[in-house]
Chains A and B, each alone.
Chain A
Amino acid sequence: MSIILISSDHYETGRSVAQQVAEATGYALLDRKILGEVASASQIPEPKILKSLEPSSATIGFSAKVRNRALASIQGAVMARLLDDKVVCYGLAAHLYVLGVSHALKIRILCNEEKRVSLMATERKVGIEKARKLLKKQEAAQKRWSLDVFGRDETNPSLYDMVISLSQIEPDEAAKVIVETVSYRKFQSMTYSIKCLRDRELSIRVKLALMEKYNDVDVTADGATVVVRTKSLKREKRKKAESIRALAGQIPGVSYVEVHTVKDIFRQAAESA
């Protein structure tokens, strides 16, 4: 079967479309309700987990280390659920990190701008022009957040298979278009696309385990082989590689660990100064 990843510029509107798609297809809806579970598994308070998905956390609030761990925990939970197949995922930024999985249909829903302005005006109790400015500011912050955290601009349409604007199209019509599109054969899961998803799930699990000790690791997986890239000083290179191998080797599903280290020039410069 397939998975549907939906993103939107307005949370409630996107969620309503995701809900309709889930109902029409009989797929499970995976949304921010899982953040409670993520919080208890990662031992990071739920408000902080939620904050990591919002633009403000890119500049103020909690440390980058906690934010990265919170985001990795969300990714781990999302990937594990996506492996179950037949899932509509919304509000968990999955469109930014579920990459190269051919049975994932990626959709962006754009809410009518005037509607968003009017909602913002009511919510913030400000005039229409002020609300318009606030909305522009919020959009810019959201774009910065996706670039800062995942290195991808979530407003770029080439990140998606389709972008649907709700200026003329009603949400239920948009849901019908998505349901129709996901029925195409190319969105059916195949052995290879499931393997790609499994590899990503394993790499995030390994990364999460390593993050408790090392924050600067990049992990990729291919079957049961895991490649970890990290920075290190020359004198601690061997010790760090052994420690990573030991930690990663304990993760279920890992049979071989390869560690690639590059010289940590900043630490080296700081120590020699």
Chain B
Amino acid sequence: MAIITISRGSYSKGKEVAEKIASHLGYQCISRDVLLDASERFHIPEMKLVRAIHDAPSILDRFSHSQQAFIAYIRYALVQHVKEDNVVYHGLAGHLLLKGIPNVLKVRVIADLADRVRAEMKREKISEKAARSLLLKDDEERRKWTQALYGVDSRDSSLYDLVVHVHKLTVDDAVEIISDAVQRTPFKTTKQVRQKMEDYGLACQLKAGLAHSFDNVGVKSEYGNVLVYARGNEHYVQRVRKKAREVTGKMSGVNELEVHAVQKLPLDVV
């Protein structure tokens, strides 16, 4: 009973690993489904969501908060899936989007650049130079995205619980190692973990409801008591309070709602 996120570069065999783990453990395997759900629920074209989660923010994006809003929608859709438990997610940024859930086994699957180039050449029928250039560009885009939005380097191994190098170790070995690791104590879904998942789900739902209109807000929930932190003047905080009441009125599982004005958003908020 756990959640596994697989982070991967293009042609790193991460997708194959994820699908095999899901089949081996009898888990649900999700990736693009999350974007489709978010697109359907929030009426945003899927392409815009893909760009929000894939492309590094441009200068203009940094002044608008649409990218942040799209990420809030994607996170909400992802949390709805993982709340069911027993899930393998191999879409983009799972390890960052599910940061607030404790029993997530965060895995990165890597492969040598030469192997990746060969795979891309074969599939796309392009030259070695073109394949290499595309892969490096894609990797750089990922790095910039995580750096701009989360202030971390996607290549930093400490962001993950396990990094498996598929080279000497095969896809089947990686499947065995990850399936074995996820059975270990820290990744079991306990009663406390389930409560945290419920709280994280509430926070993500409210954040998605606020994200379209407000960018300087952070949300967290403790046992159904939802706390909203807003950074702005009194008028701004009043507007956030009104909207938060409206959104939580339609949500189930919320006991209390508090809205606080702050100078700096706390680190543990969504």
> How many of chain B's residues have a CB under 8 angstroms from any CB in A?
26
Binds A, one of B128-136, B155-163, B250-258: B155-163
Give the CA-CA distance A73 to B187 in the complex, in Å: 44
CB distance from B157 to the nearest CB of A (A): 5
Q: Known A110-B157, A155-B157, A170-B186; judge A177-B165 contact (CB<8 A).
A: no
- CB <8 Å contact, A157 and B162: no
Closest to B113 in A: A158
- CB <8 Å contact, B187 and A162: no
- CB <8 Å contact, B165 and A161: yes
Indicate which residue in B155, B162, B170, B177 contacts A165 across the interface (CB closer than 8 Å). Answer: B162
Q: Does A16 contact B (CB under 8 A)?
A: no
Main secondary structure of the interface of A (DSSP, over half): mixed
Across-interface contacts of A167 in B (CB, < 8 A): 158, 161
- CB <8 Å contact, A163 and B163: yes
- CB <8 Å contact, A180 and B163: no
B121-162 residues at the A interface, CB under 8 angstroms: 155, 157-158, 160-162
Indicate which residue in B161, B165, B169, B173 contacts A158 across the interface (CB closer than 8 Å). Answer: B165
A166-225 residues at the B interface, CB under 8 angstroms: 167-170, 173, 176-177, 180-181, 184, 186
CB distance from B18 to the nearest CB of A (A): 17
CB distance from A94 to the nearest CB of B (A): 16
Give the CA-CA distance A177 to B164 in the complex, in Å: 12
Across-interface contacts of B181 in A (CB, < 8 A): 169, 173, 177
Across-interface contacts of A180 in B (CB, < 8 A): 177, 180
The proximity string for B residues 98-112 relative to A, scoring 1 for CB distances below 8 Å and 0 otherwise, is 000010010010101
- CB <8 Å contact, A163 and B162: yes
Q: Does B168 contact A (CB under 8 A)?
A: yes
Across-interface contacts of A170 in B (CB, < 8 A): 185-186
- CB <8 Å contact, A181 and B157: no
Closest to B112 in A: A158
CB distance from B103 to the nearest CB of A (A): 9
- CB <8 Å contact, B165 and A102: no
Across-interface contacts of B168 in A (CB, < 8 A): 102, 161, 186
Indicate which residue in B157, B167, B177, B186 contacts A177 across the interface (CB closer than 8 Å). Answer: B177
Give the CA-CA distance A181 to B187 in the complex, in Å: 20
Q: Does B184 contact A (CB under 8 A)?
A: yes
Across-interface contacts of A176 in B (CB, < 8 A): 184
Closest to B166 in A: A161
Across-interface contacts of A113 in B (CB, < 8 A): 158
Q: Does A86 contact B (CB under 8 A)?
A: no
Across-interface contacts of B161 in A (CB, < 8 A): 164-165, 167-169
Q: Does A108 contact B (CB under 8 A)?
A: yes
Across-interface contacts of A164 in B (CB, < 8 A): 161-162
Q: Known A158-B110, A180-B177; judge A165-B158 contact (CB<8 A).
A: yes
CB distance from A254 to the nearest CB of B (A): 30
Contact surface of B with A, Cβ cutoff 8 Å: 102, 105, 108, 110, 112, 155, 157-158, 160-165, 167-170, 173, 177, 180-181, 184-187
Can you give 8 contacting A-B residue pairs, CB < 8 Å? A157-B155, A160-B163, A161-B169, A169-B162, A169-B186, A173-B186, A180-B180, A181-B173
4 shortest interchain CB distances as A-B pairs: A163-B163, A168-B186, A163-B157, A157-B163
Contacts A160-B163, A169-B186 supplied; 15 other A-B pairs, CB < 8 Å: A108-B157, A155-B157, A158-B110, A160-B165, A163-B157, A163-B160, A164-B162, A165-B157, A165-B160, A168-B161, A169-B161, A177-B181, A180-B180, A181-B169, A186-B173
